[in-house]
Chains A and B, each alone.
Chain A
């Protein structure tokens, strides 16, 4: 069964600290893996998209890694800011089509001052 599992479910860190969110998937075949940021009450916003051949991709203070052999991805946030408080969702595409996406349940990140 195609699944995307994220950990931790929630995380609280102090402003300025770094953190890493994990994503494990059992999706086959594999086309690409995406990370989205979703603020409360708003739609998800794309952070990164990685294909099989990419093992790291950065977007400002966000760096995503992908290990297609172990089927794991991580999202590292550097020097966290209060505005980073959000849910971070890992999404895997089996076919490359946007409508056949397997969504994780997300990690809820809270940044405290």
Chain B
């Protein structure tokens, strides 16, 4: 299966701890996105990379959150000093950079579910 891979699938941590998630996109996709999703809601955009460049970041993204994509392949999302409100599903998605942007669907991984106790 060459889909988007996310690790770990689940993470339980205590408030105040740092956590890091990894995303491996589909290999030929140069765009990578991070989303956060809470129960009963659609995904909320966090940040976006084209190759190794972080091009967009949500204004809602706290400075405790940082994402990297150092070689333009896999990406990591780190949350420092976690809070209970950070509990959510963190989704990674990738897409191709097509001229016709309308036909470049997002391919999502199965997410990392974070629980902050």
Contact = CB atoms under 8 A, between A and B. Distances in A.
Interface of A: 4, 31-32, 34, 41-46, 49, 51, 89, 91, 93, 96-101, 103-106
B114 to A, nearest CB: 13
Given A89-B42, A99-B33, A99-B48, A43 B101 contact: no
Nearest to A34: B105
A63 to B, nearest CB: 17
Interface string B100-117: 011111111111010000
Interface residues of B, number: 27
Given A32-B102, A45-B108, 10 more contacts: A31-B101, A34-B105, A41-B113, A43-B108, A43-B110, A44-B43, A46-B105, A46-B106, A96-B101, A98-B106
B85 interface: no
B48 A103 contact: no
B4 A43 contact: yes
Interface of B: 4, 31, 33, 40-45, 48, 55-56, 91, 93, 95, 101-111, 113
B105 A99 contact: no
A43 B105 contact: no
B45 A99 contact: yes
A43 B24 CA distance: 14
A106 B37 CA distance: 12
B95 to A, nearest CB: 5
Nearest to B109: A43
Contact of B102 (A41, A46, A51, A104): A51
B43 A98 contact: no
13 contacts: A41-B111, A41-B113, A42-B111, A43-B93, A43-B111, A44-B108, A89-B42, A97-B101, A98-B31, A98-B101, A99-B56, A106-B41, A106-B42
